[in-house]
């Protein structure tokens, strides 16, 4: 079964959707988390608490909200994205962005607060200062990337609700596992589960190797 062409298509779609969602979450979460970590303004603690709450946001709630937004009668219905891979990407971005944002803010807040002032005092511009802080916190930021990817590659509720689990179009590994289980095809479900675990392990192994290599360079 694992060598079936349909399984390759499902696996490829899973990786494409999750990789794109993780990248977009990084684009959103990295600057937003940096702003929260370095900013000093009224309401900052409220925003941080909202982000931290979003890190535990139930995927089915995200799926419901995104689905309602993308339905024909919804505010984004004209985009005609419901039951497409893009709908799954949007839902996964909503799930992963708070994770990346919260962990980024925590990573930068853990740095010595005098570092940013020293960099600015040495003549660095604000973008240069932020880039240096990112480099100093690159190991926990990589952990934030892994956490964001892990939150979307294993997600099923939102993908099912906004993607519809359509064969050849929006079926990903997690929704395929649910389908096989509902049909009583437990051997197929277990095989797909094993495939998902192996893929997730290999990707996290590569990211962990990069992280540990960077740690050894720092030491």
Considering the domain boundaries, does residue 93 fall inside one? yes
Considering the domain boundaries, does residue 204 fall inside one? no
User: Which domain CATH number covers 96?
Assistant: 1.10.3720.10
Considering the domain boundaries, does residue 110 fall inside one? yes
Considering the domain boundaries, does residue 66 fall inside one? yes
Taking the C-alpha atoms of residue 141 and residue 116, their distance in angstroms, rounded to an integer, is 17
Considering the domain boundaries, does residue 82 fall inside one? yes
Contacts of 187 (CB under 8 A, 6+ apart): none
| Token digits of residue 32 | 């937003």
Q: What's the domain count of the chain?
A: 1
Contact 144, 104 (CB under 8 A): yes
Q: What is the pLDDT along the chain (219 residues), one digit of tens a residue?
A: 556 788 899 999 999 999 999 999 999 999 999 999 988 888 888 999 999 999 988 999 999 999 999 998 889 989 999 999 999 999 999 999 999 999 999 999 888 888 888 888 888 888 899 999 998 888 889 889 999 999 999 899 999 999 999 988 999 999 999 999 999 999 889 999 999 999 989 988 888 887 777 565 555
Considering the domain boundaries, does residue 216 fall inside one? no
Whole-model pTM? 0.90
Output the pLDDT for position 124. Answer: 83
Q: How many residues belong to the chain?
A: 219
Considering the domain boundaries, does residue 52 fall inside one? yes
Contact 121, 95 (CB under 8 A): no
Output the pLDDT for position 216. Answer: 59
Element (H, E) at 191: helix 186-218
Taking the C-alpha atoms of residue 117 and residue 16, their distance in angstroms, rounded to an integer, is 40
Burial profile 114-126: b = 16 or more Cβ within 10 angstroms, e = fewer: eebeebeeeeeee
Considering the domain boundaries, does residue 33 fall inside one? yes
Q: Domain residues for 48?
A: 13-171
Output the pLDDT for position 215. Answer: 61
Output the pLDDT for position 139. Answer: 85
Output the pLDDT for position 22. Answer: 95
């Amino acid at each position: 079964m694992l060598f079936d062409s349909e399984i390759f298509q499902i696996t490829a779609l899973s990786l494409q959707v999750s990789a794109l969602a993780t990248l977009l979450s990084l684009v959103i979460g990295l600057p937003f988390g940096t702003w929260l970590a370095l900013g000093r303004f009224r309401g900052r603690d409220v925003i941080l608490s909202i982000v931290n709450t979003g890190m535990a946001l139930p995927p089915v709630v995200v799926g419901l909200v995104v689905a309602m937004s993308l339905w024909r009668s919804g505010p984004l219905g004209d985009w005609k994205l419901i039951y497409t891979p893009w709908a799954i990407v949007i839902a996964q971005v909503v799930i992963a962005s708070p994770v990346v944002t919260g962990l980024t803010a925590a990573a930068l807040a853990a740095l010595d607060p005098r570092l940013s002032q020293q960099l600015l005092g040495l003549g660095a511009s604000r973008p240069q200062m932020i880039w240096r802080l990112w480099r100093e916190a690159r190991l926990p930021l990589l952990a934030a990337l892994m956490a964001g990817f892990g939150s979307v590659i294993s997600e099923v509720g939102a993908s099912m609700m906004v993607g519809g689990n359509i064969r050849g179009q929006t079926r990903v590994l997690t929704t395929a596992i649910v389908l096989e289980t509902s049909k009583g095809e437990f051997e197929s479900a277990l095989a797909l589960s094993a495939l998902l675990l192996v893929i997730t392990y290999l990707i996290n192994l590569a990211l962990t190797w990069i992280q540990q290599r960077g740690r050894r360079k720092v030491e």
